[in-house]
Amino acid sequence: MTLLNPSVVLNKIDEIVIEDRPVPKIEDPHYVKIAIKKTGICGSDVHYYVHGCCGSFVVTAPMVLGHESAGEVVEVGSAVKTLKVGDRVACEPGIPSRYSAEYKSGNYNLDPDMAFAATPPYDGTLCRYYLLPEDYCVKLPDHVTLEEGALVEPLSVGVHSCRLADVKFGDKLVVFGAGPVGLLVAAVGKAFGATDVLIVDIVEDKLQFAKKLGVATHIYNSSGDRGKSLTETKELHKAAFGDQLATVAIEATGNEYCIASALHLLAPKGRYVQVGMGKENLGLFPMGIVGEKELTIKGCFRYSVGDYETAVGLIASGKVQVKELVTHRFKFEQAIEAYEVVKSGKAIKAIIDGPE
């Protein structure tokens, strides 16, 4: 039997199936129906697959996976003005309440009632057809591929974090973590004008990949710092910037040792942004230097107003290259295999095609 809306569904921990779901119908005239063509696998997807949760979000019922997607508009609501059938779009996957204080203040990503794809209890985008409001679809220029469009989602996290950190020309930026998000943070920081970008990780292959991509001017393998004092690691890290401290630190691992090291690496009046999800309570946090240096510390949660548009612009202009991040590609029917590959740590970024 031909499936009308095949969908990749997480039934429970370690159990993913492909099953038919109802074809969604446009009920709100401002919505469009999108045929999903490319979807990236995010670390949060793997958390749900392996642990059944990601942070405070817990899977309690079968859920369609995926939220890093791009596709083609196949139907538009009667009130849609900015899109037409055939348009290629990057899909911003979180819809806030239009009546929330967070939405009205321009911080819709912080809306506690956000309906975010593949975040319980909401289904994700790994299916044939998906609905979105027209203003949460960003049209892709003709020369930007749908695969690049799928990577707009994680790139928008990089944009949002660098905006929060006010990265600008002349900054010395240190990024902890050379996974997809860390690499994209570094790429955006460089595009925003940071003249020196240091990426810190414990996996040498990832660091060499970052160097090859050209997103890092400096790399540092911190695996040898285990057991050393923060003062010793600070001296080692400082050597990468010619004995100068960083003006901006963006942490993309959630590891408490990385967090502490990043704060030590900052110069007075330095700016720090936390992107990686870690433990709720940290046993190791150098609060003393936060006051002594008058550091600015901010959290980062997804992305907000204008971040998706900026991400598309960075790709379209060639200021950020995302194609090289894709190391594995899978057909839709290979989705289960794709999750196993990402779970094993073999992929930087894996992309799943939409159903044929």
Strands 57-58 and 349-353: unpaired
Q: Smallest Cα–Cα separation from 271: which of 158, 171, 148?
A: 171
- Cβ atoms of 176 and 249 closer than 8 Å: yes
* Mean pLDDT, range 85-99, rounded to an integer: 97
* Mean pLDDT, range 315-328, rounded to an integer: 97
Question: What is residue 280's predicted lDDT score, i.e. its pLDDT?
Answer: 75
* Mean pLDDT, range 346-351, rounded to an integer: 95
User: Does a structural domain hold residue 281?
Assistant: yes
Kindly report the CA angle at 200 between 269 and 237, in degrees rounded to 5?
60
Question: What is residue 1's predicted lDDT score, i.e. its pLDDT?
Answer: 47
Same structural domain, 253 and 182: yes
User: Does a structural domain hold residue 313?
Assistant: no
Q: Smallest Cα–Cα separation from 150: which of 183, 174, 126, 177?
A: 126
Same structural domain, 259 and 140: no
Q: Half-sphere exposure of residue 127, counting CA atoms within 13 Å on the CB side?
A: 27
User: Does a structural domain hold residue 307?
Assistant: no
Residue 33, Cβ density class (10 Å: 0-12 exposed, 13-18 middle, ≥19 buried): buried
User: Does a structural domain hold residue 306?
Assistant: no
Same structural domain, 275 and 201: yes
Same structural domain, 57 and 40: yes
* Mean pLDDT, range 324-347, rounded to an integer: 96
191 membership: H or E segment, kind and range: helix 180-191
Where residue 334 falls among pLDDT bands split at 50, 70, 90?
A: very high
Cα(142)–Cα(210) distance, integer angstroms: 28
Same structural domain, 126 and 95: yes
Same structural domain, 141 and 10: yes
User: Does a structural domain hold residue 47?
Assistant: yes
pTM, two decimal places: 0.95
Cα(184)–Cα(178) distance, integer angstroms: 9
pLDDT tens-digit readout, 215-274: 999 999 998 887 777 777 777 777 778 888 999 999 999 999 899 999 999 999 999 999
φ, ψ at 297 (rounded to 5°): -120, 130
Same structural domain, 291 and 332: no
pLDDT tens-digit readout, 32-45: 999 999 999 999 99
Q: Which domain holds residue 81?
A: 6-151+322-353
User: Does a structural domain hold residue 120?
Assistant: yes
Same structural domain, 227 and 91: no
Same structural domain, 26 and 90: yes
CATH number for the domain that contains residue 208: 3.40.50.720
Same structural domain, 11 and 145: yes
Residue 133, Cβ density class (10 Å: 0-12 exposed, 13-18 middle, ≥19 buried): middle
Where residue 2 falls among pLDDT bands split at 50, 70, 90?
A: low
Same structural domain, 15 and 36: yes
Where residue 131 falls among pLDDT bands split at 50, 70, 90?
A: very high
Domain boundary among 253, 284, 299: 299
pLDDT tens-digit readout, 11-32: 999 999 999 999 999 999 999 9
User: Does a structural domain hold residue 210?
Assistant: yes
Question: What is residue 213's predicted lDDT score, i.e. its pLDDT?
Answer: 94
Cα(48)–Cα(92) distance, integer angstroms: 20
Please give the tally of structural domains in the chain.
2
User: Does a structural domain hold residue 312?
Assistant: no
Average pLDDT, the chain: 94
CATH number for the domain that contains residue 332: 3.90.180.10
Where residue 50 falls among pLDDT bands split at 50, 70, 90?
A: very high
φ, ψ at 280 (rounded to 5°): -65, -40
Residue 296, Cβ density class (10 Å: 0-12 exposed, 13-18 middle, ≥19 buried): middle
Same structural domain, 147 and 216: no
Question: What is residue 58's predicted lDDT score, i.e. its pLDDT?
Answer: 94
Cα(43)–Cα(66) distance, integer angstroms: 10
